Structure 1
Amino acid sequence: MSHGKIREDKTCLNCGHQVEERFCPHCGQENTERRQPFYFLFTHFIEDFTHYDGQFWGTVKNLLFKPGKLTNTYLEGKRQKFVPPVKLYIFVSFITFFVFALFPMVNINSKDKDNEEHNKTSLVKIVKPVTSIGTQKIIDSIKAKKTLTEEDSLAIEKLKMIPDSTEIEEMMDMDRTIDPDFSGKNYKTKKSYDSAIAKNPGFFDFLEKPIAHKFFELKEHGVTKKELLDNMLEKSFHNLPKALFIYLPLFAFFLWIFHSKKKWWYFDHGIFTLHYFSFLLLTILLIFLFGKVAKLTEIKALNAVLYLVMTILTIYSMGYFFIAHRRVYRAHGLVSIIVGIMLLTINFFAFMFLLVGLALVSFMMIH
């Protein structure tokens, strides 16, 4: 990997030792000229991340096509052959979320107003016959019975809870100011809500109260449903990389629980986790980019190929964990699959819990 012209003087500028070749044997600094052309800044940046000597591209190739290979190699002590796990994850994460920021997956602000109104009207037209007419007919038919059983009364109450077309239209109207509704009661003010909570305290009040107060605060400022959704999506997107980074130790912890504590240290599970999440982010990025290209092109044959590749990547990403898990932990095939299913199930619910927490944090951060 070349970072510039070699100096004729063999004395290292950093530590003063003699440099026989390109790098100083004492401190490792490259013995290049101090002054470089302007383009050197860009080439140096690219080389530092991609390592044109093959380290970066070899890492990516093994990460994508050889599940578990990077983890096994690293745990064997061969740590100069590929990009270190932490550096790999940070780089892949940076590139992925940078691309997502350039080409947003969801951009509510760019939606056409007429199209949004058309969609809302269409939905109301579809639901209206069911809610306003169909539901009422069912209620009338039940009431027409000579004697009403307890089940009939319960059915009528449930049917009355189904919103009519007016309520659906109000829910679909994103330009309406948010209207807080807690515990099934539509409190008009923060004061009325606090008064009701004081009279009838609940076990989860410590969670509901700050959220309710935030809703009333936003309502007072005239925040619409659309503005609320836009802000939450924006805040969640900015917080997602942090949330993922926080979740890494938890994923490694679940691995630690299900494997021998004598044979596998928590550090080992951490390396596996970093490589696995790097793969997931890279795969998601590739699927996202292929999807963007498919939307831009009108060539049917190319679109068919792109969607086929996206489907293959999606299926492959689902099986990747099981392949990598078996190769790294060397468990019996059936045992590895059972443990893998349990791990993915636990992590699914844990990650959903994290996303809910992220949404709440994002909501509380709205001003």
Structure 2
Amino acid sequence: MAKRRRKFTQCPNCGYIFEEVNNYCPNCGQENHDLNVPAKHLIAEFFEGTLHFDTKVWHTLKLLLFKPGLLTEKFNVGQRASYVPPFRLYVFISIIFFFVLALRGGSSPEEAKGSFTPDVEIKGLEADTVAETSEAAVALSDSLIQAIDSPFLKELSVKFKTFTSDEEQSRQKLLKNTSFMMFILMPFFGFVLYLFYRRQDRNYVEHLMFSIHFHTFFFLITIVAIGIEYFIKSFEVDTWVFWIALLYLFLAMLRVYKQSFWRTFLKFLPVSFLYILSLLALFLGTLFISVMMS
């Protein structure tokens, strides 16, 4: 949808004389669009732009959720104007994703039964048992601190005790660091795909777009799964998200890289294994950094 402009004949910023085709000043870059109009015109423009953006979001999410790999394919061949840019979409969805995780992690033990969080999973434990376990962990940590001779390990034990002493602060710190971890994981996964499909002579950016769309999908289905869990307490969020994400990854690889079913499957196995391994390694690294920052 083209933007309707009320054009100046002369740039109000630098005085450049506009030609009819100039939507921006060639001299200073200011937009050639007069905003000094009645409020009703500005309101109409706002809703016009908002509805157009909503249409782009709907088209983007429809392809992302229900047609694995098609959004990436359209981006790679240059069909981009009708869809939200991949990185902008990722940032927007990731903000919602970590906000939902923070709310979920902050719920009471009764409300969180059967749920998973990025830090510690506790299922079906009574409050007394949790308290006794925490006291035992603190006592063990104190004993280890006294027994360890290595300065590094002793410092690590002290940091770990500090980290676990405030559950809410530890959760928030871990969530914040996990968001950075996922930001690192995206280009790494793109590089893994680049290595496996290097004979197709594709630019790395194409694999990076695949990775961004895949992680955006992962965030979306996790948000949906957490919403389902809110109404169905027995719903296994982590199990469903894990298998749906793997299926989506395979179907997206099949569409984007256009190889046979079995050839794609033979690449999918090591690609998914390396992804899960790197995810685990990065999460452990994130946990270590979170503890050391305590």
TM-score calculated relative to the size of structure 2: 0.74
In 2, are the aligned partners of 1:252 and 1:269 still within 8 Å (CA)? yes
Distance 1:248 1:78 in 2: 22
Deviation at 1:173, TM superposition (A): 3.8
Q: In the alignment, which of 223, 232, 250 is matched to residue 188 of structure 2?
A: 250
In 2, are the aligned partners of 1:71 and 1:271 still within 8 Å (CA)? yes
Q: Name the aligned partner's letter for residue 329 of structure 1.
A: Y
Q: Name the aligned partner's letter for residue 85 of structure 1.
A: P
Instruction: Give the secondary-structure state (helix, strand or coil) at the position aligned to 2:259.
Output: coil
1:312–1:354 Cα change, 3 Å: closer
1:17–1:278 Cα change, 3 Å: farther
In 2, are the aligned partners of 1:17 and 1:24 still within 8 Å (CA)? no
Q: In the alignment, which of 125, 133, 158 is matched to residue 216 of structure 1?
A: 158
Q: Name the aligned partner's letter for residue 93 of structure 1.
A: S
Aligned to 1:154: none
In 2, are the aligned partners of 1:290 and 1:310 still within 8 Å (CA)? no
In 2, are the aligned partners of 1:85 and 1:275 still within 8 Å (CA)? yes
Instruction: Give the secondary-structure state (helix, strand or coil) at the position aligned to 1:179.
Output: helix
Distance 2:238 2:134 in 1: 35
Q: In the alignment, which of 279, 285, 288 is matched to residue 357 of structure 1?
A: 285
Aligned to 2:115: none
Aligned to 2:64: 63
TM-score calculated relative to the size of structure 1: 0.61
Aligned to 2:35: 33
Would you say 1:279 and 2:221 are equivalent positions? no
Distance 2:47 2:179 in 1: 23
- Greater mean alpha carbon deviation, residues 311-320 or residues 255-264: 311-320
1:17–1:100 Cα change, 3 Å: farther
Deviations 1:25-56 (A, max 9, x none): 96693724147869x79x959957x8436222
Distance 1:250 1:364 in 2: 24
Q: Name the aligned partner's letter for residue 213 of structure 1.
A: E
1:175–1:32 Cα change, 3 Å: farther
1:13–1:69 Cα change, 3 Å: farther
Would you say 1:348 and 2:286 are equivalent positions? no
Instruction: Give the secondary-structure state (helix, strand or coil) at the position aligned to 2:198.
Output: coil
Deviations 1:90-139 (A, max 9, x none): 122122223334xx22237x458xxx9x8265x6xxxxxxxxxxxxxxxx
Deviations 1:193-213 (A, max 9, x none): 33xx4xxxxxxxxxxx53531
Aligned to 1:239: 177
Deviation at 1:364, TM superposition (A): 1.1
Distance 1:231 1:93 in 2: 20
Distance 2:240 2:284 in 1: 30
Q: Name the aligned partner's letter for residue 328 of structure 1.
A: V
State how 1:46-61 maps to structure 2 within 5 Å. Answer: 51-52=52-53, 54-61=55-62
Instruction: Give the secondary-structure state (helix, strand or coil) at the position aligned to 2:277.
Output: helix
Deviation at 1:264, TM superposition (A): 2.0
Distance 1:46 1:231 in 2: 43
Distance 1:333 1:90 in 2: 32
Deviation at 1:8, TM superposition (A): 7.3
Would you say 1:80 and 2:81 are equivalent positions? yes
Distance 1:313 1:28 in 2: 46
Q: Name the aligned partner's letter for residue 152 of structure 2.
A: P
In 2, are the aligned partners of 1:276 and 1:321 still within 8 Å (CA)? yes
Q: Which structure would you say has the larger RCO, counting Cα contacts within 8 Å and 6 or more residues apart? A: 2
Aligned to 2:104: 105
In 2, are the aligned partners of 1:19 and 1:31 still within 8 Å (CA)? no
Aligned to 1:319: 247
Instruction: Give the secondary-structure state (helix, strand or coil) at the position aligned to 2:79.
Output: coil
Instruction: Give the secondary-structure state (helix, strand or coil) at the position aligned to 1:67.
Output: coil
Deviation at 1:252, TM superposition (A): 0.9
Select the structure of larger CA radius of gyration: 1
Deviations 1:156-190 (A, max 9, x none): xxxxxxxxxxxxx9861449745327xxxx4453x
Distance 1:277 1:45 in 2: 31
1:79–1:111 Cα change, 3 Å: closer
Deviations 1:335-362 (A, max 9, x none): 1012112111111011101111111111
Instruction: Give the secondary-structure state (helix, strand or coil) at the position aligned to 1:264.
Output: coil
The sequence identity of aligned pairs, in percent, is 24
